[in-house]
């Protein structure tokens, strides 16, 4: 993935720290403070309107972010703006139709403090959103095949879309 890297919706910085992402943006000052404690530098802002010049980044990561934003089309459009030509967007998703998606939808219906704000997307919706924002799908990887409450072992990710996966990574390439 081309650098420099950006994480949109960095939250506490858990993924950015593990992946070595250089720059981030999040609308929560409290979460940015947590991310900074992990050595992740972040900017206060929203994915719909980021404080970066056009063409700044090689790759943008949205890890479990798209389901929590107000406007996925606006966030993907703004992500496209801040990417260089042929830049990549990496979406880490819990898809609606997955076992984990169904688990979290149940939590949402029960009023869970985090998941009550989530709108889980289907794979087809994600692909459509990417296309409409000016990306082509460049790869798909599936992971987390153990069921909620049964995770015990590290698993190898698998190329392609799997209906049994709890977590899906969709990579998009910016079209010119």
pLDDT of residue 22: 84
pLDDT tens track for 124-166: 999 999 999 999 999 999 999 998 888 888 899 999 999 999 9
pLDDT of residue 143: 95
What are the beta bridge partners of residue 49?
46
What are the beta bridge partners of residue 115?
none
DSSP 134: T
What separation in angstroms does the CA of 12 have from each of 1, 16, 60? 23, 9, 17
Q: Show the domains of the chain with their CATH numbers.
A: 5-174 (3.40.50.150)
Q: Can you state the angle between helices 72-82 and 123-132, rounded to 10 degrees?
A: 50
Q: Which long-range contacts (CB under 8 A, 24 or more apart) does 76-79 make?
A: 76/129, 76/130, 76/132, 76/133, 76/135, 77/133, 77/134, 78/47, 78/48, 78/49, 78/50, 79/8, 79/47, 79/50, 79/133
Largest CA distance in the chain: 44
Predicted model pTM: 0.94
């Amino acid at each position: 993935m081309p650098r420099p890297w950006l994480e949109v919706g960095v939250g506490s910085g858990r993924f950015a720290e593990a992946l070595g992402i250089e720059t981030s943006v999040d609308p929560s000052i409290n979460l940015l403070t947590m991310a900074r404690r992990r050595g992740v530098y972040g900017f206060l802002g929203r994915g719909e309107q980021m404080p970066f010049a056009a063409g700044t980044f090689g790759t943008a990561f949205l890890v479990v972010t798209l389901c929590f934003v107000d406007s996925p089309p606006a966030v993907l459009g703004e992500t496209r703006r801040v990417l260089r030509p042929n830049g990549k967007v990496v979406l880490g998703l819990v898809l609606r139709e997955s076992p984990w998606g169904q688990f979290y939808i149940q939590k949402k219906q029960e009023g869970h403090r985090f998941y009550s704000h989530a709108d889980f997307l289907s794979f087809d919706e994600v692909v459509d959103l990417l296309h409409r924002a000016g990306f082509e799908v460049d790869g798909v990887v599936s992971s987390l095949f153990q069921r909620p409450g049964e995770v015990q072992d590290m698993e190898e990710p698998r190329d392609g879309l799997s209906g049994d996966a709890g977590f899906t990574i969709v990579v998009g390439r910016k079209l010119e």
